[in-house]
Structure 1
Amino acid sequence: MSAILTAENLYHRVPTSEGPLTLLNNISLQLARGESLAVTGASGSGKSTLLGLLAGLDKPSEGRIWLAGEEITAMDEERRAALRARCVGFVFQTFQLLPGLTALENVMLPSELRGERGADRRAQEFLSRVGLEHRLRHYPRQLSGGEQQRVALARAFASFVADDAILFADEPTGSLDAGNGAKVIDLLFRLNAESSTTLVLITHERRLAERCTRHLYMAAGCAEHGTSVPDKSNLPEESA
């Protein structure tokens, strides 16, 4: 399988009063279409920095990244934004739903911003697939945490307009209790299988990391690759 995501020799540094601080130190990876990657490690190890670079939200200090066959490190922000709109979805720990929009309107928004026809139908389809067809007209404040995260999942998957889609998720179950977290994990991988997307997940949960086909353990900006969750990740079995 050809790679949908490739990173070569990534470094990322930020200036401080005491000199440059290295957040990422020579990280390389390659992910094929349909694979799932769990990124684990302690807080401050560089996980979120790496996710932002891989998704094209920022540029590394050094190194190159290819996403869906295009080198995003050679693009300006406008071109990166256009690529993200075509084939990148995001799921955030804090849901990032707009409070003034209904569940349906939140899911429709990415498609409407691109001027696509059928945004309403597509949004209803994905809300139905996440079991929220009876909550279309409800606002985020009227939904439970688990329901809000399901709306966020529906929005992410409904936003794809390309076959080479990739979903980035930063602690997608971090704000949920154990029961809702388990449901969201099952739903995430079911939608992934149905849509043949690629997943890159940051997580502190072992049960989520173990569902992924690939693992990247991070410590102090460095990375170790593997096909199983390393014991040193010290991941809990479930959310508190």
Structure 2
Amino acid sequence: MATNTAIRVRNLTHTVTSNTGDLTILKGINMEINESESVAIVGSSGSGKSTLLGLLAGLDVNTSGDIFLYDHNFSSQNEEQRALARGEYVGFVFQSFHLLPSLQAIENVMLPAELKGDKDARKKAEALLDKVGLSHRLTHYPNQLSGGEQQRVAIARAFASQPKILFADEPTGNLDEENGNLIIKLLFDLNKSQGTTLVMVTHDNELAKMCDRQLVMSAGQLTEKTL
């Protein structure tokens, strides 16, 4: 695989079983994303966007096909191996923040680096929270923060392990316009300053247009949008 390819997907399918029978959500997806690219995955609700993002990040297991993050084939790895690869390569920002309510902002951001045994976890977390404008909120718990502040903590946490690839699922979906614009600026600033590959699912057409490429999900199939 070329060294500048961050993600490579070949013939990816994903089927789930429901009360009414098997449902194929993804149908033979093929794609490549290069290092440092920003890519938006767009499409209607229920088209498979978030399912694809979760599979790319190794949060779920596909039915068939191959997903490579650099030289790691998630499709042939067990959960322990995928977890190690996620820790090495992946950051994830969820629409609903997913902060641990019992931890302060600084502790939430420290957690990924601490799990990797980083002795400078607190110093790095303080620097990241300062970068996202929350140096005055270090000891606040999630329920003491606004939605925009919680998402900024989540972004700082995602970057705490210095991921090569950042996945974001509707990162502005629960925010007002002002906070949404701030989060967008943070994501692209970090994408540019750290060379992090950015892959996001979004319904926001203006946000999608800011990315280097747009991929359109429709009925479980993926096509490139011509800009």
Superposition TM-score tier, normalisation by shorter sequence: over 0.9
For 2:156, the aligned partner's letter is: A
Structure 1: distance between partners of 2:205 and 2:184: 11
SS of the residue 1:134 aligns to: coil
The residue number in structure 2 matching 1:195 is: 194
Pairwise mapping of residues 212-223 of structure 1 onto structure 2 (< 5 A)?
Answer: 212-223=211-222
Cα deviations by residue, 1:101-146 (Å, 9 ceiling, x for unpaired): 1110000011112222100001001001111111111111111111
Counterpart residue number, 1:91:
93
Which moves more between the two structures, 12-21 or 91-100? 12-21
Q: Which residue of 2 aligns with 1:210?
A: 209
Which sections of structure 2, spanning at least 5 residues, go unmatched? none
Partner of 1:31: 33
What is the TM-score normalised by the length of structure 2? Answer: 0.96
Cα distance in 2, alignment partners of residues 149 and 137 from structure 1: 16
Q: Structure 1 counterpart of 2:118, which letter?
A: E
> Pairwise mapping of residues 1-240 of structure 1 onto structure 2 (< 5 A)?
2-160=4-162, 165-228=164-227
Over aligned residues, Cα RMSD in angstroms?
Answer: 1.2
- Relative to the length of structure 1, the TM-score reads 0.90
Residue 136 of structure 2: SS of its match in structure 1? helix
Q: After superposition, what is the alpha-carbon deviation per residue over 1:55-77, rounded to whole angstroms, capped at 9, x for unaligned?
A: 11222111111102221211111
Output the amino acid matched with 1:59.
V
Preserved contact between residue 213 and residue 227 of structure 1 (Cα < 8 Å) = no
What is the DSSP-based 3-state SS (H/G/I as helix, E as strand, rest coil) of the residue aligned with 1:15?
A: strand
Which residue type is aligned with residue 123 of structure 1?
A
1:30 is displaced (CA, Å) by 0.1
Local SS of the residue matching 1:217:
strand
Unaligned runs of 5+ in 1: 229-240
Q: CA deviation digits over 1:204-224, x for unaligned, max 9? A: 111211111111111111111
Alignment length (residue pairs): 225
**Partners of 2:202 and 2:159 in 1: CA distance:** 19
Mapped to 1, the partners of 2:161 and 2:210 lie a distance apart of 24
Structure 2 CA distance for partners of 1:59 and 1:44, relative to 1, 3 Å: same
C-alpha distance in structure 1 between counterparts of 2:118 and 2:165, whole Å: 20
Residues 23-67 of structure 1, C-alpha deviation per residue, up to 9 Å, x if partnerless?
001111000000011011111100111011111122211111110
C-alpha distance after superposition, 1:67-96 (max 9, x if no partner): 022212111110000010111001000111
Q: Distance in 1 between matches of 2:19 and 2:172?
A: 36
